[in-house]
Chain A
């Protein structure tokens, strides 16, 4: 054990510190502000503060550097951490800017504070290199998300979403904790490198398999991988749009980065044969179920949920091949997050203008708001994996890694082919969305849609980022 350096701790935790401080400030200022101030002004102040906190956190992340383990190995400050933290913060920024129907929520400041807390949990997940810290990070993020999901007290669906998410999340946390404790029991350590060393040294045991299955099941819940996906459609449908966006984007990215680290650095390649098949089954089931079930959806958000399930399959595949370099899967998760946040941003703008749950409510979007329609096209096509958008390159990079590991007959090769085939299925429902947006005529009485400037900016940034990352993937891939 190295000596404990609090300077290191400060450096490693500064991003989370910024976020937490920001969250507290948001709450405090909102409390302190006189009730006579108009709600819009309070919301504006809170939003500005939240954005500042996120920016500061990003700055701190960059400053933290990538020089390896910190604070006695509790934190891993490497490129994975850096990129994931930045990605999470960026996605949270977009979420905050896009959560256009905050006006519908009472207590906007609390909402924003929760987003900041959740983000802190995400960044901590990205950095944690130790079971205990990881669990804490995960729970910080999850608890914030449970509340976020059920935040809209005016809609029963939101409460349902929050409850469902909480129950499933709680169960999965229990699984994970159980798995962690077994790992600790097997190896006598909670530090990832030590666990890996111990596991490599001992013969594979049934207990290990149980432990891994527990962890992976929990992962499946978190990532909404089939067959543990059941919460996802309801949460995506019911949660306030910003919450859903955060759950779908930043939470995924943090989870993927965390599990990639846990599985490859923490449990290790030598015992990969025990957990790779489990992941493979989860991935295959998600790919098939997500894509096929999405075909039958008529609700945009549920459709996005099933699309998320199918993407979870591809992300699991990415985690399976992240051993050499997690670059591909992180790239995938970041760009997937961008597209999803963007898509939810579009939904937010639509919801502000009227009902927008069904796909048909998108009809004539190209007339109601060409900007929104154009952005939506970019997000959806990126989700579908059409070049030159980032979604394509994410898939391409992940599948290339999957095939590098032994060709078609290798452990992941067949999954890559399955994913490619399912991609062709996916295009169908993605096009259904775009068909409504571009082909169908607007319904009678459908008015032009007003988009707040911040949301407009965020939507544009997301779209441009998707294109830029698609054309120049080296910006992310090159970091690894």
Chain B
């Protein structure tokens, strides 16, 4: 447990070191990036081995910070945090591996990258709403530069859109949080204190505060119709940033909903529940259908992320223990899988073919030219479809089970979403890698396309992510045994009760 704050420290320290290393050589900066993320992952794993699951956040560090605002530097973790910290460690390490080919301004790249990671770790470990928000915002700005400097297609537009949406979302959160803080007497930002005070607020204020907080966070989670930043941003971003954006940053939003909005205002959750659930369902289906007709490789994956995050939001909205547990599991699962998909589309394929148009890819016998990419993408696609055996399956299953308890109709639409996911995933697998598979392709020209061989960092990153999704697919209890006790804490119980009609 005590190892967890090191994840934040390693990341920020790594950012500074990378900046310095970048002035010497790109290779050095890369190594700094890898060491820093690996150190973070190691710290997370170390903490995981010493973790005793239990209800409530276990305090790791609690120092006074800004007494005038009642803000404390309070780091704590429960099973939910730990799951997501672990995800961050995995995704961050893989992201560095898939950024190994960044040659331009490498030091700055990894500095921004590690800053983003540090912010993400911080959000997952904060038990103080103010601290959480600070880390949350720290994670926003590096995204702009990562995309605008190292991105591709339409990068400046995508970066700006993404950051403005994120910032608008966080402005809602800021408003909501300040309001709650002020209404609670302005003495403390501790989540527990806020929750205790929030129960006494007038009903209408509660509804409005919950709306601000939940919607604000949900923008970052890609809640329909505030999701449009996600596909354009993901597409424009360089591979590692796409991986992190879809893999981890979208989770920040969902985590905020779960950690802040829901426990504070259980009663308001009950009122908002149908609206959120239907928006989540709309997101699942709409984004899935849009993904079905995209002709840009990365757009398909970008929309698929929105669709998958719809499941997370639906699970949260359903607010039954299984659904919320499933939502957290889905956060982990989608983090890993989206990372993998973006890695294949952005790094393994795009950096070699220099096109992401599916039509163009279809004309290349990619499964022959990039067999490693094909295998990884097929497995990732299966995981993304929710194929059993991969982590997406237990997550979606748990969400379905939990949602069914809340409303069978929602569950029915969600099941339709699974079908849509299968359809678009299979389509993109088919077109991208297996566009030309018939016998005629065996000797087709193009076999000689000089694709650089797949490098070891790519292999290592892909194996890391694949192993994670498979491990959790087959042993979801590894995470569920952390997550479920965490849902027993008084705060979470209140949130879950609020969701019951």
Contacts and interface: CB of A to CB of B under 8 A. Distances in A.
A and B touch in the complex (CB under 8 A): yes
A431 B142 CA distance: 11
B149 to A, nearest CB: 5
A8 to B, nearest CB: 31
A381 B141 contact: yes
Interface stretch (A120-128, A188-196, A237-245, A392-400): A392-400
A420 B205 contact: no
A214 B137 CA distance: 41
A409 to B, nearest CB: 9
A393 B174 CA distance: 12
Interface string A62-96: 00000000000000000000000000000000000
B69 interface: yes
Interface stretch (B159-167, B232-240, B338-346): B159-167
Nearest to A470: B134
B171 interface: yes
Given A420-B175, A474-B67, A400 B181 contact: yes
Given A427-B164, A478-B68, A388 B134 contact: yes
A393 to B, nearest CB: 8
A412 B164 CA distance: 25
Nearest to B173: A420
B175 A388 contact: no
A477 interface: yes
Q: Which interface class (under 10, 10 to 19, 20 to 34, 35 or more) fits B?
A: 35 or more
Given A400-B182, A407-B205, A478 B67 contact: yes
Contacts of B171: 420-421, 423-424
A370 B20 CA distance: 11
**Interface of chain A, main secondary structure:** helix
B137 A474 contact: no
A10 interface: no
A400 B186 contact: yes
B178 interface: yes
A387 B138 contact: yes
A400 B141 CA distance: 23
A439 B181 contact: no
A29 B244 CA distance: 61
Contact of A416 (B67, B69, B175): B175
A392 B134 contact: yes
A408 B66 contact: no
A417 interface: yes
Interface in B162-218: 163-164, 167-168, 171, 174-175, 178-179, 181-183, 186, 205, 208
Given A386-B140, A397-B69, A439 B149 contact: yes
A448 interface: no
B145 interface: yes
Interface string A428-449: 1001001100110000000000
B144 interface: yes
Contacts of B168: 424
Given A421-B171, A431-B160, A399 B178 contact: yes
B133 interface: yes
Interface string A6-41: 000000000000000000000000000000000000
Contacts of A397: 68-69
Given A397-B68, A424-B167, A408 B208 contact: yes
A403 B181 contact: yes
B181 A327 contact: no
A477 B65 CA distance: 12
B160 to A, nearest CB: 6
B261 interface: no
Interface string B128-153: 00100111011011001100110000
A307 to B, nearest CB: 16
A326 to B, nearest CB: 12
Contacts of B149: 438-439
A439 B158 CA distance: 14
A189 to B, nearest CB: 34
Nearest to B183: A407
A387 B156 contact: no
Contacts of B140: 386
Interface string A373-400: 0000000010000111000110011011
A174 B118 CA distance: 54
Contacts of A423: 167, 171
Given A420-B174, A439-B156, A404 B141 contact: no
Contacts of B69: 396-397, 400, 473, 477
A327 B160 CA distance: 34
A392 B138 CA distance: 11
Contacts of B144: 431, 434
Contacts of A403: 178-179, 181-183
A392 B174 CA distance: 11
A345 interface: no
A424 B140 CA distance: 12
A431 B157 CA distance: 12
A407 B182 contact: yes
A387 B134 contact: yes
Nearest to B67: A474
B137 A413 contact: no
B62 to A, nearest CB: 17
B163 A427 contact: yes
A408 B174 contact: no
A202 to B, nearest CB: 33
A416 B177 CA distance: 12
A148 to B, nearest CB: 34
Nearest to A392: B137
A381 to B, nearest CB: 6
B61 to A, nearest CB: 15
Interface in B65-94: 65-69
Contacts of A434: 144-145
B323 to A, nearest CB: 31
Contacts of B135: 387
Contacts of A417: 175
Nearest to A471: B65
19 contacts: A396-B130, A396-B178, A399-B174, A400-B182, A403-B178, A403-B182, A404-B182, A408-B205, A420-B171, A424-B164, A427-B163, A431-B144, A431-B163, A473-B68, A474-B65, A474-B68, A477-B66, A477-B68, A480-B68
Given A366-B105, A397-B68, A435-B148, 14 more contacts: A327-B68, A366-B108, A393-B66, A400-B182, A400-B186, A417-B175, A420-B175, A427-B164, A431-B160, A439-B149, A439-B156, A473-B66, A473-B69, A474-B66
